[in-house]
Structure 1
Amino acid sequence: MQEPAARYGGYKSFDYLTPHTDYKVFELAPQLGRVPEHDLGLSDSQRERVGRLLREHAAISLHEHPKILPADVSELRDYNRTGRNAFGFEGLARSGLTAVFDNFMNGTGCVTSEHAWKWDDVIYDIGLRFADVAKQDYVVVATTLDEIFAAKRDGRLALVAGLEAATMIENELDRIDILYGFGVRQMGIAYSQANMLGSGLSEERDGGLTHFGRRAVDRMNKLGIAIDISHSGDQTSLDVIEASRVPVFITHAGSRTVWDTPRMKPDDVIRACAERGGVIGIEAAPHTTLSAKHPHHSIESVMDHFTHCVELVGIDHVAFGPDTNFGDHVGLHDSFVGHLAIGRAHGAVDHPRVPYVSGLENPAECFSNIVGWLVQHDYSDDEIAKVIGGNIIRVLREVW
């Protein structure tokens, strides 16, 4: 784990408010030390190289939820209903990251409804997070590449606002413009269940991108919102790739060839994404990117998907979107299994359950361990620079 960023001044979420008076207080999970650190067995020189690579190059996580969960995950619904999720400023200050695509509560947002993806819930979520960020000077909201580069130069962390689905726009195309105005720069098409735009990956029949969905893709292209197809069905994903005038992201997934569940992408979708210039970010949320070689989910399982995708489409089209948070991610899945359609999405493949993904448990450790693994496996500096951020920057130059 990296030393804390020099620009981080110790701010904690909602320090500008009075606890218990202005907001409901929950005991939160620790940002650091919740689980044992993963030992990659690096030499001193390898560790020095990891630090240098993170200092010299932009490291961008294409998909995270860097909030802090309650220590007692059974309180998660009550916590989310307040609309206030504490942000992991301290943990991120040790991450070595340049920028993080923050996807907020998304499918677990239940401020006004039990079923998430409501317009008001999304606005609460974004607005309260941005108010918190505005009261400190380490994390900055970024809406352009220049702002990401400036954050790197200034020793800050850039937050890019992302949403995993466009479900909350319903049939209102102009809501995409409103979200853009609020700072959103990346958005998914559907989250597991179908919506007005297309089918999610948990549907038995995928009708593909709808007419309204094509109009939404066109509007996102015109505005400069990066499109994500991670949770979209296979046909919908292919339709989006074809309809978009610019490359699209698979921000957080893996290969179905490596682990055969609907949550993973088939190789033809990964190829089609890459052929149009897009990038796949490799996922690490619990019990997703497993492999036959490493069925106990760990960094080794995740990197099996990475190496397969590099062999499939080349190193210019692969990045990382670990999809982690601070706290019990397995407990989060258990709490929202119905909302997130986890059973159908993850399939019925039998595998060992783990309490956490060793080596990629939270945003504080992910990229130092990813870079450490790449160093250990003799990837060049140029190759590492591409997969930890350079490939994402290339796509954003076209999209934004």
Structure 2
Amino acid sequence: MSSSSSSPVLPAGNAPQYSGYTAYGYLEAGRDYQHFDLAAEVDRVPARAFDLDEEQRARMRRLMDENIVLSLHEHAIVLPDDGDQVRRYNRTGRQRTGYEGLSRSGLTAVIDNFMAGASCVTSQSGWKWDDMIYALGFRLADLAKQDYVRLATSVDDIHAAKRDGRVALIAGFECSTMIENELDRIDMLYGFGVRQLGIAYSQSNMLGSGLSEPADGGLTNFGRRAVDRMNKLGMLIDISHSGDRTCLETIDHSAVPVMITHAGARAVWPIDRMKSDETIIACAERGGLIGLEAAPHTTISSDHLTHSIDSVMDHFRYCVDLVGIDHVSFGPDTMFGDHVAVHKAYAGNYAQKSPEHEKHPRVEYVEGLENPGENFWNITAWLVEHGYSDEDIAKVIGGNAMRVLGEVW
């Protein structure tokens, strides 16, 4: 018997280890920091329904329970309920971790990219060193005041989170612009707990070219030195927002695998934000992964023009066919709240170099992959619904990522 069309996949209730702590609960809102009415972490949008019978639903829950579940890229913060307040909220530097949402997520670990480029505490343009320290310092201080979500700096920390029923948060920044020409700042970030660093965020920097530039100059000499330093430290390198040549030269120069933590296949949807077959293949051949993303209006497909989990899974299937199941995972790139409002708030900061591939319906959210609390339940449900084996599901929801992190860290 199939499940009801209105029945959500998400489990009822909080994980038993979660005590109900909310971000900055050790301080007084309105006195110690600025208050904002926040978006709902649970049931903000209707749940995606899957046509699973009871046996399939039990299998989905078992797979989530038995395996390490790791998201390659999220921003696990709660946004203001009023999208017009996004910039003002981010300028305080105190983004709120979505503890309640994470408690329902089924995640063992998440690479959290901190909304750092949007913090804009000292500058409207973002990606300043001081802004990164605000974003990192405030949230890690808050993390230290509770015991459910724990900062992870090693593979052992992730295994410990699985054993203890907690969530491991891996600190990452999707861009290195803020290190400027200071190589030692990579060591400083590592010392602060950061374990993943991107090369460039759409715009070029001292390391290499971003994907929005009219031409790609590739990985610079300083970029090569930065890659060497990240390799020596054990820092995961992300090339999601870099241009094609910069991606290929980073893959080639790194002594260990790199990741495309959040993107899709340009062959499925030909916009600059997606990755070329050449890049995806090169990344996989050196042992790396591509994580499929779900930021609104990115991983669309011609078969599913209305962006949803079905669009994203068209990219997933393509990448599996292209490089094999061992080199594909998921980095949905979501947050708790209105992601489209964030895009609108920062539309002038990161313009792309080419127009949209073609007209497609605009969405208020990506159905089935709207926030970190629901993403991997729905990914696993989709994979079960479409007949993937237990072994393959275990790989793409976390096993592949753990293999690469074990080699890099």
Report the TM-score when normalising by structure 1.
0.99
Q: Of the candidates 351, 358, 367, which is equivalent to residue 358 of structure 1?
A: 367
Identity fraction in percent: 64
Q: Provide the residue aligned with 2:236 in structure 1.
A: 226
Q: Of the candidates 366, 372, 382, which is equivalent to residue 391 of structure 2?
A: 382
Shift in Å, 1:69: 0.5
Q: Provide the residue aligned with 1:172 in structure 2.
A: 182
What CA distance in whole angstroms lies between the structure 2 residues aligned with 1:323 and 1:38? 18
2:269–2:357 contact (8 Å) kept in structure 1: no
Report the more deviating stretch, 107-116 or 238-247. 107-116
Shift in Å, 1:19: 1.2
What CA distance in whole angstroms lies between the structure 1 residues aligned with 2:316 and 2:274? 12
Tell me the amino acid that sits aligned with residue 325 of structure 1: M
Q: Provide the residue aligned with 2:274 in structure 1.
A: 264
Report the more deviating stretch, 360-369 or 348-357. 348-357
Q: Is structure 2 residue 163 aligned with structure 1 residue 148? A: no
Q: Of the candidates 283, 287, 306, which is equivalent to residue 297 of structure 2?
A: 287
3-state SS of the aligned residue for 1:159? strand
Equivalences for residues 42-191 of structure 1 within 5 A: 42-191=52-201
What CA distance in whole angstroms lies between the structure 1 residues aligned with 2:161 and 2:115? 24
What CA distance in whole angstroms lies between the structure 1 residues aligned with 2:92 and 2:353? 29
State the Cα deviation string for residues 237-266 of structure 1 (Å, max 9, x = none): 000000000000000000000000000000
3-state SS of the aligned residue for 2:260? strand
1:284–1:302 contact (8 Å) kept in structure 2: yes
Shift in Å, 1:41: 1.9
Q: Is structure 2 residue 252 aligned with structure 1 residue 242? A: yes
Equivalences for residues 306-325 of structure 1 within 5 A: 306-325=316-335
What CA distance in whole angstroms lies between the structure 2 residues aligned with 1:177 and 1:399? 16
Q: Provide the residue aligned with 2:7 in structure 1.
A: none
Tell me the amino acid that sits aligned with residue 242 of structure 2: S
1:58–1:388 contact (8 Å) kept in structure 2: yes
Q: Is structure 2 residue 386 aligned with structure 1 residue 391? A: no
Q: Is structure 2 residue 379 aligned with structure 1 residue 370? A: yes
What CA distance in whole angstroms lies between the structure 2 residues aligned with 1:138 and 1:51? 21
CA RMSD, aligned part only?
A: 0.9
Tell me the amino acid that sits aligned with residue 92 of structure 2: T
Tell me the amino acid that sits aligned with residue 222 of structure 1: K
Tell me the amino acid that sits aligned with residue 52 of structure 2: L
Shift in Å, 1:199: 0.1
3-state SS of the aligned residue for 2:371? coil
Distance change in 2, residues 1:346/1:269 (3 Å): farther
What CA distance in whole angstroms lies between the structure 2 residues aligned with 1:298 and 1:78? 29
3-state SS of the aligned residue for 2:282? helix
Q: Provide the residue aligned with 2:312 in structure 1.
A: 302
Q: Of the candidates 21, 40, 45, which is equivalent to residue 31 of structure 2?
A: 21
Shift in Å, 1:348: 4.8
Shift in Å, 1:82: 0.8
What CA distance in whole angstroms lies between the structure 1 residues aligned with 2:181 and 2:73? 26
2:200–2:241 contact (8 Å) kept in structure 1: yes
What CA distance in whole angstroms lies between the structure 1 residues aligned with 2:46 and 2:23? 25
Q: How many residues align?
A: 399
What CA distance in whole angstroms lies between the structure 2 residues aligned with 1:348 and 1:126? 36
Shift in Å, 1:33: 1.1
1:214–1:243 contact (8 Å) kept in structure 2: yes
Shift in Å, 1:346: 6.9
What CA distance in whole angstroms lies between the structure 2 residues aligned with 1:276 and 1:183? 26
Distance change in 2, residues 1:281/1:346 (3 Å): farther
Shift in Å, 1:339: 1.6
State the Cα deviation string for residues 285-339 of structure 1 (Å, max 9, x = none): 1000000000000000000000000000000000000000001101110111122
3-state SS of the aligned residue for 1:337? coil
1:288–1:346 contact (8 Å) kept in structure 2: no
Ranges of 4+ aligned residues in structure 1 off by more than 6 Å: none
1:69–1:328 contact (8 Å) kept in structure 2: yes
Shift in Å, 1:43: 1.3
What CA distance in whole angstroms lies between the structure 2 residues aligned with 1:320 and 1:102? 13
What CA distance in whole angstroms lies between the structure 2 residues aligned with 1:346 and 1:296? 18
3-state SS of the aligned residue for 2:72? strand
3-state SS of the aligned residue for 1:311? helix
Tell me the amino acid that sits aligned with residue 42 of structure 2: L
What CA distance in whole angstroms lies between the structure 2 residues aligned with 1:119 and 1:40? 44
State the Cα deviation string for residues 131-173 of structure 1 (Å, max 9, x = none): 1111111000000000000010000000000100000000000
Q: Provide the residue aligned with 1:253 in structure 2.
A: 263
Distance change in 2, residues 1:345/1:58 (3 Å): farther
Shift in Å, 1:101: 0.4
Q: Of the candidates 273, 281, 284, which is equivalent to residue 274 of structure 1?
A: 284
Report the TM-score when normalising by structure 2.
0.96
Tell me the amino acid that sits aligned with residue 29 of structure 1: A
1:261–1:349 contact (8 Å) kept in structure 2: no
Shift in Å, 1:45: 1.3
3-state SS of the aligned residue for 2:365? coil
| Unmatched tracts of structure 1, length 5 or more | none
What CA distance in whole angstroms lies between the structure 2 residues aligned with 1:107 and 1:40? 35
What CA distance in whole angstroms lies between the structure 2 residues aligned with 1:398 and 1:349? 40
Shift in Å, 1:345: 6.7
3-state SS of the aligned residue for 1:344? coil
1:291–1:304 contact (8 Å) kept in structure 2: yes
Q: Is structure 2 residue 220 aligned with structure 1 residue 210? A: yes
